[in-house]
Amino acid sequence: MTIILSNDLCSASINTKGAELNSFKNLQTNREYIWNGNPEFWGKHSPVLFPVVGALKDDCYYYEGKKYNLSRHGFARDFEFEVIESSSNAASFLLKQNSEIAAKYPFDFELQMDYKLVDRQLVLSYTIRNKSDVEMPFSIGAHPAFALPNSFTDYSLEFEHEEKLITHELENNLFSGKTRPINLDKTNLPLTYSLFEKDALVLKTIQSKKVTILENKKPLLKVNFDDFSSLGIWTVQNAPFICIEPWIGFADDATSDGNLFEKTNIQILQPSTSFGASFSIEIL
């Protein structure tokens, strides 16, 4: 099922499967900003990454002596969310623990996704609740893909600050331990497919909390992610989209021992407590 939000300026549509954003459109120009999900390149739009971001070594982890299999980016994107609230410009979606999920993740949780249109912004908020009586490890991340209908080199990314960016390189979806610098022209990163020859750019630490997509040097769209500590940037060769991915957490190192509680940047939620984070996409 699809839930449609709108105001006088823009609209958004969210699929209850995965609480995934499928569309964010400027109603004044009829321009669509979200990638259409063509499976020739990548068959998704904006999946929710929970309870892990990236891949686990051997797609598994161990808890209390038991092995659990958990695929890359977790399971939230694969399940139907319940619509718990909906109005013309806002909606809330909820995923709860069930028997199928418990076989992958034995922690009693709730994941709530809230979407709200505010003028030209779409605000996406995550709330994670630990409903169990044990500590709960988790990561949370966003994966929105933005449509780039012109030539890829017509676009660039404008960072909030001048900074020295370091990407942590992935091999077979795991961190190899290698890094390389990503050089900005002051605050600007021209987009070329060669940037992504070794998979995503993974910026584990970043000062900027705003990244703007420029089209022919003109501001098009801004992603604001104050609550998130890391950022992924990704596309595939020749694909007409760019993903700007606010993350709290990231993939395993190649040397990981499978202990989820000791995973780098994992969040540990105490029993009967909650965690919240939000980011926004703004039409410029």
Q: What is the mean pLDDT of residues 219-234?
A: 97
Rounded Cα distance between 150 and 137, Å, is 41
Strands 210-215 and 201-203, bridge-based pairing: unpaired
Q: pLDDT band at 198, cuts 50/70/90? A: confident
Please check the confidence at residue 15 and state whether its pLDDT lies above 90: yes
What is the predicted pLDDT for the residue at 43? 95
Note the maximum CA span of the chain: 56
What is the predicted pLDDT for the residue at 264? 87
What is the predicted pLDDT for the residue at 103? 96
User: pTM for the full model?
Assistant: 0.96
* Helix, strand, coil percentages for the chain (3-state, nearest 5): 5, 50, 40
Domains of the chain from N-terminus onward? 2-283 (2.70.98.10)
Q: What is the pLDDT of residues 35-80, one digit of tens each?
A: 999 999 999 999 999 999 999 999 999 999 999 999 999 999 999 9
In degrees, rounded to 5, the angle at the alpha carbon of residue 219 between the alpha carbons of residues 216 and 221 is 115
Which residues lie below 8 Å from residue 139, measured CB to CB, with a gap of 6+? 49, 50, 51, 52, 53, 74, 247, 248, 249, 250, 263, 265, 266, 267
Q: Give the SS3 label for residue 106.
A: coil
Rounded Cα distance between 156 and 219, Å, is 9
Which residues lie below 8 Å from residue 218, measured CB to CB, with a gap of 6+? none
Average pLDDT, the chain: 96
Rounded Cα distance between 182 and 180, Å, is 7
